[in-house]
């Protein structure tokens, strides 16, 4: 008798029930909803005394309805992923107790909770910031101007740097400008934030397996635009904005802002969904991916003459769970199916449009002969509110497992991982130090000696790879690369100065010599950078300058090169 593999969501349900059952009911009753720690006494919380003269209790923020300017509308504005807005400030504010810790920040864009307005967010970043962008501000209707953003990127010798949206993997000078407005009417939210960019096209030395000089692009796109309709804690969303999934900051295995945003439609939770088991966060969407025949690929093994002109379809599911009996702990999973859009859809709706709901193991739905790729990851994250610290780990597979035996016996096959740690510590009443470390492994493990998996983001019948507009959708450090980053910065919210050390191994397992007895040549980049952030009234400047030393550049022994990488972002607040 043949047993069918249970659906993917059945494993999630069994896991949750098992976690709940791990404590007797008498013990479970001893646990209460998490207390929210709101920072050191010398920092003012976002919430103040209201017109009723009642003092806001941060330990019960979710039970309290307050009235203060610009919060009565409860506009739940999205904060764009990456460089465009204040995405990087959200994490600091959460660890410092300025934002509630119930949101795992593993499904982004981050939606401001209804208890925190955009104005109060700016005040938390810098008390001197004043939002003058409100065009219309009424009880159920709001229109306001979004910040104007001007991003500049420069490389002096060869391409370097990632997580920059539509900017290309090129040498030379590039820039991106964006701006727009946000509108909400009752439960309808519209963000119009187009982006105009020009990519670089400066010559540099490249090889047969890495690099390509391509024409410069000048383009206007919808950028960080979206339309959202809320229904309680859930929303239906359509947009072209960048998406981030997973706990990482520098890298994400399945979805980051390394590539240009793509058109998508989905169902998202806009805030944690509270149940007797704990809190859940959910995201599921479908989207189309495109390629540009005039541009090179971040993975040079993807030749333009091999690329088909078919559009591709991607379906992604993310589920995050925070148990009620374990404060500030998050357990999550990502699942992606990436395939060619069918010119003649089959009669199976699930296979065509929501394959993420198929059973977990491939022995039930054989797809080896099809141009389809499955990517999986699981992650954990733990926040230490009183210590202002967080620890996270993500582990994934670039190839779906055939059955439980395959998963257990060859767990490392086609695997990759991200691990990171952040710690914030007050130096005095106005300054804190931020220590960050993150390591990403994309190279193969020794498992390839028995069964070669290739490298991440590559599939035999999907020649374009896991890309949009020729750029990798996941970890932008590159195909089969390993990276370790360490940063220390001194902050007082509005200003920052710091130092960054980074080591990048290009395909360290030697994908050019997988079965050769000769020792592969390792190409390693060592970068040393300075991070500076300054605010002047409503102008915000963010500068990252790195000196990059490349040893054995292009996998050529004793061939060294030097590169200056600059990332300069300017934001103007109305």
pLDDT in tens, 360-387: 776 666 566 667 888 999 999 999 999 9
Higher pLDDT, 412 or 249: 249
Calculate the alpha carbon distances from 155 to 42, 128, 162, 299, 562 in Å: 42, 34, 12, 19, 10
Given a contact cutoff of 8 angstroms between Cβ atoms, the answer to whether 173 and 153 are in contact is yes
What is the pLDDT at residue 204? 94
Given a contact cutoff of 8 angstroms between Cβ atoms, the answer to whether 424 and 98 are in contact is no
99's CB contacts (< 8 A; 6+ apart) are 46, 90, 93, 113, 116, 124
Q: What is the mean pLDDT of the chain?
A: 82
Two structure tokens written together for 172: 């030379």
For every residue of 125-165, which 3-state class applies, written as one string? HCCCCCCCCEEEECCCEEEEEEEEEEEEEEECCCCCCCCCC
User: What is the maximal distance between C-alpha atoms in the chain?
Assistant: 77
Higher pLDDT, 359 or 69: 359
478's CB contacts (< 8 A; 6+ apart) are 162, 298, 299, 442, 472, 504, 506
What is the pLDDT at residue 418? 97
Higher pLDDT, 506 or 191: 191
Calculate the alpha carbon distances from 4 to 12, 333, 357, 372, 408 in Å: 17, 22, 14, 21, 18
**Cα angle for residues 258, 260, 264 (degrees, 5° grid):** 115
Give 459's DSSP letter: B
What is the pLDDT at residue 24? 38
b (16+ CB within 10 A) / e for 269-303: bbbbeeeeebbbbbbbbbbebebbeebbbbbebbe
Which pLDDT band, with edges at 50, 70 and 90, does 309 fall under?
Answer: low
Two structure tokens written together for 403: 């059955």
Two structure tokens written together for 476: 């932008």
Two structure tokens written together for 496: 């920052």
Given a contact cutoff of 8 angstroms between Cβ atoms, the answer to whether 290 and 471 are in contact is no
As a whole number of angstroms, the distance between CA 36 and CA 41 comes to: 14
Q: Map tokens 């010798």 to a residue.
A: 157
Which pLDDT band, with edges at 50, 70 and 90, does 16 fall under?
Answer: very low
Two structure tokens written together for 49: 């005394």
DSSP states along 58-91: GGGGGG-----TTTTT----EE-SGGGTTHHHHH
Residue 55: pLDDT above 50?
no
Residue 228: pLDDT above 50?
yes
What is the pLDDT at residue 458? 79
Residue 21: pLDDT above 50?
no
Other beta carbons within 10 angstroms of residue 117's beta carbon come to 23
Given a contact cutoff of 8 angstroms between Cβ atoms, the answer to whether 307 and 273 are in contact is no
Question: What residues form DSSP beta bridges with 154?
Answer: 173, 566
What is the pLDDT at residue 549? 97
Which pLDDT band, with edges at 50, 70 and 90, does 413 fall under?
Answer: confident
Two structure tokens written together for 330: 């998050």
Which pLDDT band, with edges at 50, 70 and 90, does 427 fall under?
Answer: very high
Which helix (H) or strand (E) segment holds residue 16: the answer is helix 8-21
Two structure tokens written together for 215: 């024409």
Residue 127: pLDDT above 90?
no
As a whole number of angstroms, the distance between CA 166 and CA 152 comes to: 12
Q: Left if phi > 0, otherwise alpha if psi is -120 to 50, otherwise beta: which for 552?
A: left
Which pLDDT band, with edges at 50, 70 and 90, does 493 fall under?
Answer: confident
Instruction: Provide the terminal-to-terminal Cα distance of the chain, rounded to the nearest Å.
Output: 68
Residue 540: pLDDT above 80?
yes
Q: Map tokens 């810098």 to a residue.
A: 126
Which pLDDT band, with edges at 50, 70 and 90, does 298 fall under?
Answer: low
Which pLDDT band, with edges at 50, 70 and 90, does 47 fall under?
Answer: very low
Calculate the alpha carbon distances from 131 to 120, 305, 534 in Å: 9, 50, 18
Q: Give the right CATH number for 8-572 from 3.10.290.10, 3.30.200.190, 3.30.70.260, 2.40.160.130.
A: 2.40.160.130
pLDDT over 70, % of the chain: 79
Given a contact cutoff of 8 angstroms between Cβ atoms, the answer to whether 416 and 442 are in contact is yes
What is the pLDDT at residue 368? 60
What is the pLDDT at residue 293? 82
As a whole number of angstroms, the distance between CA 474 and CA 469 comes to: 13
Q: Which of 396, 286, 389, 384 is nearest to 333 (CA)?
A: 396
**Each residue of 438-491: pLDDT tens digit?**
999 998 887 777 777 777 887 777 777 889 998 999 998 877 899 999 999 999
What is the pLDDT at residue 451? 76
**Where do the structural domains in the chain lie, given as residue ranges?**
8-572
Q: Which of 469, 475, 513 is nearest to 260 (CA)?
A: 469
**Each residue of 143-155: pLDDT tens digit?**
999 999 999 999 9
Given a contact cutoff of 8 angstroms between Cβ atoms, the answer to whether 392 and 38 are in contact is no
Given a contact cutoff of 8 angstroms between Cβ atoms, the answer to whether 312 and 340 are in contact is yes
Phi, psi angle pair for 447, to nearest 5° = -60, -25
Residue 292: pLDDT above 90?
no
Given a contact cutoff of 8 angstroms between Cβ atoms, the answer to whether 378 and 371 are in contact is no
**Each residue of 233-266: pLDDT tens digit?**
999 999 999 999 999 999 999 999 999 999 999 9
Q: Map tokens 């992923």 to a residue.
A: 81
What is the pLDDT at residue 70? 40
Which pLDDT band, with edges at 50, 70 and 90, does 126 fall under?
Answer: confident
């Amino acid at each position: 008798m043949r047993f069918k593999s249970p659906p993917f969501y059945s494993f999630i349900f069994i896991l949750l029930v098992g976690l709940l059952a791990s404590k007797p009911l008498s013990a479970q009753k001893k646990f209460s909803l998490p207390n929210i720690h709101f920072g050191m006494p010398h920092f003012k919380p976002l919430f103040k005394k209201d017109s009723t003269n009642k003092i806001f209790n941060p330990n019960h923020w979710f039970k309290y309805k307050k009235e203060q300017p610009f919060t009565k509308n409860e506009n739940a504005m999205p904060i764009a992923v990456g460089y465009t807005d204040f995405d990087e400030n959200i994490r600091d504010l959460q660890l410092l107790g300025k934002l509630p810790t119930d949101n795992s920040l593993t499904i982004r864009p981050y939606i401001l909770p209804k208890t925190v307005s955009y104005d109060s967010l700016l005040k938390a970043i810098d008390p001197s910031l004043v939002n003058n962008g409100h065009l219309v501000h009424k009880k159920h209707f709001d229109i306001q101007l979004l910040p104007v953003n001007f991003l500049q990127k420069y490389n002096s010798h060869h391409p370097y740097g990632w997580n920059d949206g539509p900017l290309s993997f090129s040498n030379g000078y590039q820039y991106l400008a964006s701006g727009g407005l946000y509108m909400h009417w009752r439960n309808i939210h519209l963000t119009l934030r187009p982006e105009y960019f020009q990519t670089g096209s400066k010559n540099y030395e490249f090889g047969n397996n890495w690099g390509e000089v391509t024409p410069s692009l000048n383009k206007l796109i919808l950028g960080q635009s979206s339309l959202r309709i809320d229904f309680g804690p859930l929303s239906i969303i359509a947009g072209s904005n960048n998406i981030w999934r997973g706990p990482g900051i520098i890298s994400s295995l399945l979805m980051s802002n390394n590539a240009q945003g793509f058109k998508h439609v989905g169902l998202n939770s806009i805030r944690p969904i509270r149940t007797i088991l704990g809190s859940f966060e959910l995201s599921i969407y479908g989207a189309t991916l495109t390629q540009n025949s005039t541009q090179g690929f971040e993975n040079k093994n993807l030749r333009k003459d091999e690329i088909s002109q078919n559009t591709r379809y991607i379906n992604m599911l993310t589920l995050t769970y925070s148990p009620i009996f374990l404060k500030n702990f998050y357990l999550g999973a990502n699942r992606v199916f990436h395939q060619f859009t069918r010119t003649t859809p089959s009669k199976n709706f699930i296979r065509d449009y929501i394959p993420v709901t198929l059973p977990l193991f491939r022995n039930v739905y054989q797809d080896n002969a099809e141009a389809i790729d499955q990517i999986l990851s699981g992650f954990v994250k733990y926040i230490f509110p009183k210590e202002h610290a967080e620890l996270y780990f993500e582990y994934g597979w670039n190839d779906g497992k055939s059955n439980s035996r395959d998963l257990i016996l060859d767990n490392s096959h086609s695997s990759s991982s991200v691990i990171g740690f952040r710690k914030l510590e007050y130096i005095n009443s106005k300054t804190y130090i931020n220590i960050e470390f993150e390591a990403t492994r994309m190279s193969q493990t020794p498992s390839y000696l028995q069964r070669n998996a290739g490298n991440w983001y590559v599939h035999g019948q999907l020649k374009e790879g896991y890309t949009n507009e020729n750029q990798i959708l996941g970890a932008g450090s590159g195909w089969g690369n390993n990276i370790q980053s360490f940063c220390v910065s001194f902050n007082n919210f509005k200003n920052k100065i710091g130092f960054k050390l980074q080591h990048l191994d290009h395909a360290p397992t030697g994908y050019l010599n997988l079965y050769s007895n000769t020792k592969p040549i390792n190409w390693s980049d060592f970068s040393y950078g300075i991070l500076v952030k300054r605010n002047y009234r409503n102008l915000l400047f963010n500068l990252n300058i790195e000196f990059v030393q490349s040893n054995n550049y292009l996998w050529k022994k004793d061939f060294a090169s030097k590169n200056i990488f600059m990332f300069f972002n300017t934001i103007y607040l109305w």
